[in-house]
Amino acid sequence: MKTKKFLLILVVLLIMVLVAACAPAEEPPPPTQGEATQEEAAPAEEVSSAEEAAPAEEAAAGFTPGGVECIAPANPGGGWDWTCRSVGQTLSDVGLVDGTVKVTNMAGGGGGVAFANVVTQQNDNDNLLVAASPATTLRLAQGQYGEFTEDDVRWIGAVGADFAVITVAADSPYETLEDLITVLQEDPGSVNFGGGSAIGGQDHMKVMVLAQAAGIDPLTLKYTPFDGGGEAMTAMLGGFVDVFPGDVSEVLGQLEAGEIQVLATLTADPMGGMLEGVPTAKEQGYDAEWIVFRGFYGPGGMSDEAYNYWVNALGQMADSPEWEEQLQQGGLEKIVRLGPEFEPFVSTQITNFRQLSRDLGLIE
């Protein structure tokens, strides 16, 4: 009797959730299956994928994706999560993947938990993509993933990028990068840098790269880490921090309102849009660049067929208008480096990071 009642309640609850989930769509969200069952699953008839799906040519080359999973090595809401969700969505929108791409959030150790999981548990999974960025390569360079190295996985490609910017509050005494560097050269400890990552993390590295380019000893800089770029920027608006070395996507809102100004972009070429007219650090005589690529690696044991399929698929996807739209929504630029181009890019970057971290005494 009692059990029945409880089960009844459970069923009621289930129906409740179902009804709620259906209400906005008049159609339930496409069910996603676990890896094992997905193979036999018919392509999900979700709202946007089916119509324009053109079967990918590469499918003939010996690999057909099925039950594709994308691991975002962080909680929902961050860059890695965005990478997985937007790429997953676009891949299925343009028909390069049948059905949906399942996104798994596997937070921990700054991506280390996901890295270890892929290497030790899913090394032969051909249908697995893992979101990566310089946060991944920097930690690999600094040996923060334990015994694992960049050679344990296959680097598939980058499909977009965010860019580093040096920002100050609107009422800051520094109006150009020159002003800031001049002060730093005289008394490096007098400027408070505040960023969203730990000491030795991305935001810190950005300013150290810049300092190095300006001939200032990076170790003399004063850097305070906050919990994420947003908090660092708030601290700058409150006057607790002088300079916030953030990413473009983090500062757009405040930039639009004129609360902050961008002294320089750490890019190869000047940027458009709201950053029109902002010079690059390079143009101002400091050869510092920092590109926050958004890309993927796959398991080390991924077959060549699958690897080639994903390299091609990402390439095709990156050229689609759907991807342009995703990039625009995410405030990113299109930077595509794939397969044979991406692997040397990653290994050069890691070598550079390793050298830099060694120079800075962060690693031995």
127-146: contacts with another protein (CB under 8 A): 144-146
> Binding to another protein by residue 170, rule CB under 8 A?
no
> Binding to another protein by residue 173, rule CB under 8 A?
no
Count of alpha carbons within 13 angstroms of residue 139, beta-carbon side: 20
- Candidates 83, 254, 265, 280; binder of another protein (CB under 8 A) is 254
> Binding to another protein by residue 2, rule CB under 8 A?
yes
306/311 with CB nearer another protein: 306
**Residues, the chain, total?**
364
Residues 189 to 228 in contact with another protein, rule: CB under 8 A: 189, 192, 194, 198-201, 219, 222-227
72/338 with CB nearer another protein: 72
106/291 with CB nearer another protein: 106
Contact (Cβ atoms closer than 8 angstroms) between residue 237 and residue 260: yes
Cβ within 8 Å of residue 68, ≥6 positions away: 88, 91, 97, 101, 102, 127, 128, 129
> Binding to another protein by residue 13, rule CB under 8 A?
yes
The backbone region for 251, taken as left when phi is positive above 0, alpha when psi lies in -120 to 50, beta otherwise, is alpha
Q: Which residue type is seen at 53?
A: A
> Binding to another protein by residue 29, rule CB under 8 A?
yes
Nearest to 310 by CA among 87, 156, 81: 156
120/176 with CB nearer another protein: 120
Residues 30 to 69 in contact with another protein, rule: CB under 8 A: 31-32, 34-37, 39-40, 46-48, 69
Residues that contact another protein, how many (by CB under 8 A): 94
> Binding to another protein by residue 163, rule CB under 8 A?
no
144/303 with CB nearer another protein: 144
Residues 286 to 315 in contact with another protein, rule: CB under 8 A: none
Q: How far is CA 299 from CA 119, 129, 152, 303, 323, in A?
A: 6, 8, 8, 9, 24
31/173 with CB nearer another protein: 31
- Candidates 43, 50, 105, 333; binder of another protein (CB under 8 A) is 105
> Binding to another protein by residue 176, rule CB under 8 A?
no
Would you state the structure tokens that stand for residue 266, as one six-digit string? 């750490």
- Candidates 166, 233, 275, 327; binder of another protein (CB under 8 A) is 233
Q: How far is CA 196 from CA 227, 234, 245, 251, in A?
A: 6, 11, 9, 12
CB of 293 to another protein, least distance (A): 19
